[in-house]
Amino acid sequence: ENLLEPVDEATVQSQPVLAFAENTDYFIRREEPENIVRTRTYDISITYDKYYRVPRVWLRGYDENQTPLTSSQIMEDISVDHAHKTVTIENHPYTGIVCASIHPCRHAEVMKRLISKMESSGKELRVDQYLFLFLKFISAAIPTMEYDYTINIDT
């Protein structure tokens, strides 16, 4: 019995962008299909801010070719309400690489409010759930990013 599914015409067949030209020692660039959806990826780093005593989020973006995004390209993925206000471009404290940073000045206040709201509705937040709640809070500034929530936390 054949367990393979029939060919899906909507599937883009992957082809290398660069390929050897026939009977030569050099590469040629192939044209890419127009129906490929371009995506950006981000490295997310979380450090501890000693001044505000809360987690601080750092974002480093890359295009589909893994080329680092410019500061203005990163800001395109940040909500208008947060770009250049809550989210700024700064050097990462440990790597020195230029990243987008979500300023931590209100993290503690917002997290305390979310936890209090949960407690008042009879829900208890376990210590291991705190990071998931924090990432949900941060997602307001970065609406274009999809997070893999493996746990559901109702606030």
For 88, half-sphere exposure in the C-beta direction (CA atoms, 13 angstrom radius) is 9
Contacts of 123-132 with CB under 8 Å at 24 or more apart are: 123/154, 125/153, 129/153
Instruction: Confirm if 87 and 75 have CB atoms less than 8 A apart.
Output: yes
Alpha-carbon gap, residue 146 to 72, rounded angstroms: 20
- 99 in catalytic set: no
Alpha-carbon gap, residue 31 to 23, rounded angstroms: 20
Q: Where are the beta strands (DSSP E) in the chain?
A: 18-20, 27-29, 41-49, 54-62, 87-91, 98-102
Alpha-carbon gap, residue 84 to 13, rounded angstroms: 39
Select which of 105, 131, 140, 151 is catalytic. 105
Residues carrying an active site annotation: 105
